[in-house]
Amino acid sequence: MNILLCQPPIEDFYFTKERTFPLGLTYLSGAIRNLPVKVKIEDFLSVKKRHTISIPNNFDKVKKYYTYDRSEIKVFNQFYHFGESWENVKKYFEFNKFDIIGISSLFYTYTEETILLAKIIKEVQPNTIIIVGGQNVTFSNRLLFKSPDIDFMTSGEGENSFRKFVSDKLNHNFEKEQIPNLFYKNNNKWKRSKIQTNPINTKFDFVPDNSLLDLKNYKIQGKNSIMLNTTRGCPQGCKFCSIENVFGKNIRNKP
């Protein structure tokens, strides 16, 4: 079984290019490392590419404030596509076929990019299973659930649910209802598996697999860099923050 894990490009006025290490995907590949599958990580975001695109219509009301100015301290005025271009992404999937493709969606801000990536994949490899996971997958995200190209989604911490998803597919005993935190379609209606796990009951001893990454793409101030995850969860409960939903309100330390 051929599995790809990928991080989509993003489109915005600005981007912090030095912290895009796909840590979540390295944890997912670590979670299935000892299964008899071939895994690859394709990071379409961390390639040092960007090009200017027109400001999307949903900014029409605020566009008048984003006027061009030459001063050092200026508001945004250019809108960019950061990462690999959609043409190259399409070419990539024309030549590289997979059985399962996992897409990371961490940001509500970049939901459209996740949806477009799924669309491009299905156009060139319609039989490939697409599963989306990440902090942006919540039942309230109507945009994601409108996508005809996404087959499955998982909410919350992904290691255990993704491993069970892959191993049950491998062993031909795949039952949607048995996969924790899974969203699946039934007669084109989205359903949620009855097994909902609470991260606070999950020991945080997962081990990431960084061997699939091209480390030259992850430099900070020119030096090789890596991201480490030392704890998960937060008790603060800030209104704007997704952490509690995904990693729980208790802090779990890595051993």
Is there a contact between 8 and 103 (Cβ–Cβ < 8 Å)? yes
State yes or no: residue 157 binds ligand B12 (CB under 6 A): yes
Kindly provide the b/e burial profile for residues 15-27, where b requires at least 16 CB atoms within 10 angstroms of the residue's own CB.
Answer: beeeebbbebbbb
Q: Provide Rg for the chain, Cα atoms.
A: 19
State yes or no: residue 102 binds ligand B12 (CB under 6 A): yes
Which is closer to ligand B12, CB of 86 or CB of 117?
117
State yes or no: residue 75 binds ligand B12 (CB under 6 A): no
Q: How far apart are CB 8 and ligand B12 at their closest, in Å?
A: 9
β-pairing verdict for 50-53 and 38-43:
unpaired
Helices and strands in the chain: count of H runs, count of E runs: 7, 14
| CA dihedral of residues 60, 64, 69, 75 (deg, nearest 10) | -70
State yes or no: residue 14 binds ligand B12 (CB under 6 A): yes
Choose the stretch contacting ligand B12; rule: CB under 6 A; options: 73-81, 84-92, 215-223, 236-244. 236-244
Q: Which alpha helices (DSSP H) does 73-232 contain, by range?
A: 86-95, 111-124, 142-145, 159-170
Q: Which of 29, 114, 154, 193 binds ligand B12 (CB under 6 A)?
A: 154
State which H helix or E strand residue 70 sits in. none
Which is closer to ligand B12, CB of 39 or CB of 45?
45
Q: How far apart are CB 173 and ligand B12 at their closest, in Å?
A: 19
Residues of this chain, 17-46, that bind ligand B12 according to CB under 6 A: 19-20, 22-24, 27-28, 45
Q: Which of 30, 32, 42, 135 binds ligand B12 (CB under 6 A)?
A: 135
Q: Which alpha helices (DSSP H) does 146-205 contain, by range?
A: 159-170
- Residues forming contacts to ligand B12 in the complex (CB under 6 A) are 7, 12, 14-16, 19-20, 22-24, 27-28, 45, 102-104, 106-109, 131-136, 154, 157-159, 162, 229, 241-243, 246
